Amino acid sequence: MGSDRFSTAARLKAIGQEAHARVYRAAAARRPARRNKLTGRAALLALVLCSLVIALAYPMRQYIAQRADIADQRREAQQARQKVDELREQKARWQDPEYVRTQARKQLHYVMPGEDGYSVARPAPTAGAQGSAHRSAGSPGDSGSQADAAAHRPWYANLWDGVDHADAAAPPRH
C-alpha cells in the first residue's frame, strides 16, 4: 500500500506541474510579445526633434546677436541725445554776453578797457644754462631749462639730438 500511495502522490504532482505549465503557456499567449523600448515611432519623433533643433539653432543665434546689436544702437542713440543736450546747453551759455566776457578773460587773457593786464613770462635761458643742461642731462633741476631750450629750437634739431642720445646710450656690439 505504501508503494501504491507513493505512485498516486507522484502522479498528482505530475498532473499539477502539467496544469501549471498549461496555465503559464495560456497566460503567455494572451500577453503581447515584449517590444523594444525604442519603437519606430519614437525613433522618428527623436529624428524630427533633432532636425528641428539643428534647423532653428542658427536663426536663434542670429536673433540673439541682432537683439544685442539693437541694444547697442539704442545705447549709442541715448549717448548721442545726451551729447546733443549738452551742446545745446553750451550754445545757450554762449548766447549770454556775461559768459562770453568771462571766457574771453579766462582763455584769451582779454582785459576790459581801463584795466591793466599782466603776463608773467619765464626768463629766456642763457647760453651758460644751455651748456650746463647738456653736460648734466640726468639732473632733475635742469630738466625744465632743457625742455625750454628744446621748445625754442627747430624740430629737426630736437630729432637729431634724440638720435644722438639714443646712439650714445646703446651698448657696443662685438
Degrees to nearest 5, angle at CA 68 with 66 and 74: 100
Question: Residue 46: what pLDDT?
Answer: 92
SS3 36: coil
Residue type at 60?
Answer: M
Distance CA 18, CA 25 (A): 11
Question: Residue 19: what pLDDT?
Answer: 87
Averaged pLDDT, 114-129 = 76
pLDDT digits (tens, 9 = 90+) for 2-55: 555 568 878 888 888 888 888 888 777 777 666 667 788 888 999 999 999 999
% pLDDT > 70, the chain: 79
Which residues make Cβ contacts (< 8 Å) with residue 161, sequence separation at least 6? 150
- Dihedral class, residue 109 (left if φ above 0, else alpha if ψ from -120 to 50, else beta): left
- Dihedral class, residue 26 (left if φ above 0, else alpha if ψ from -120 to 50, else beta): alpha
Q: Scanning the structure block, which residue is given the C-alpha cell 505549465? A: 21
Q: Does 118 or 35 have the greater pLDDT score?
A: 118
Contact yes or no for 162/171 (Cβ under 8 A): no
Whole-number CA gyration radius for the chain: 51
Which residues make Cβ contacts (< 8 Å) with residue 134, sequence separation at least 6? 146
Which residues make Cβ contacts (< 8 Å) with residue 101, sequence separation at least 6? 112
Distance of CA 159 to the CA centre of its chain: 40
Q: pTM value?
A: 0.39
Q: Does 10 or 135 have the greater pLDDT score?
A: 10
